[in-house]
Amino acid sequence: MVPKAEWLAFEDDIEAILRLKKEKNAVILAHNYQTPEIFHGVADIVGDSLALAREATRVEADVIVLAGVHFMAETAKLLNPEKTVLIPDMEAGCSLADSITPDDIALLRQAHPGVPVVTYVNTSAAVKAASDICCTSGNAKKVVESLGVPKVLMLPDEYLAKNIARETDVELIAWRGHCEVHELLPPKMCAKCARLGRASPLSRIRNARRRLLPRLIFPAPPLACRTMSKPRSPPAWCF
């Protein structure tokens, strides 16, 4: 929750936003990663990217404000073409979504003619349009196997593709896309937060996070295949 001292600092802005929502018949969909004053103070619906996409189809407001990254707002617009969809920051991007472009998919198709492209939903509308089918992290294995083919291009999350490869006999060709934020979280930190989450209130989890974060060693950014210099050749695959 938002501490009282912090709430007082945001109170005027929160009240103004609440008034505007009523005046414009707007609804705010906020991703789980948003700051507390947004998540608890002004959001009408909160959740992960898939949950927000589903909820976007159920809202009756004229205006949808998507407090998240660019591809989330695109998805909300695709599902609600008749509504006005706003994103507060046009520069709010996602390193995973930005790691792949339609041109990259075209190169992959040249290198692997006839191999279908399965794309994770956390991608741009343009990338989705260049793909054959989309999947979530929860149904990826089912989608891959539903195609009835021996080989699939799976984009853009390398780790999701590797995890699914362990569970299926379908050969997966993965793109080297990553979330730059998730890559900063060492397994030990995740395990410790999980233990605290089972035994402690939220405040203790936050305190543990504050203690652990300064210990992180920030590595060099992961290789982004889309930054290859022109003329471009097909990138290296993981499998």
Residues 60-78: tens digit of each pLDDT:
999 999 999 999 999 999 9
Instruction: Write out the two tokens for 230.
Output: 């022109």
Q: How high is the pLDDT of residue 191?
A: 82
Look at residue 85 and tell me whether its pLDDT is greater than 50. yes
The predicted structure's pLDDT at residue 207: 54
Q: pTM for this one?
A: 0.73
Check if the beta carbon of residue 79 is closer than 8 Å to that of residue 135.
no
- Give the span between the Cα atoms of 213 and 184, in whole angstroms: 9
Please give the pLDDT value at position 45.
94
Cβ(174)–Cβ(162) below 8 Å: yes
198 has which bridge partners? none
pLDDT in tens, 116-126: 999 999 999 99
Distance CA 146, CA 133 (A): 11
Query: How many Å apart are CA 84 and CA 62, to the nearest integer?
Result: 7
* Domains with residue ranges and CATH for the chain: 4-93 (3.40.50.10800), 96-180+221-227 (3.40.50.10800), 182-215 (no CATH)
Most confident option among 146-150, 220-224, 227-231:
146-150
Alpha helices in the chain (DSSP H): 4-24, 36-39, 49-56, 70-79, 95-98, 102-111, 125-129, 140-146, 158-165, 187-199, 202-212
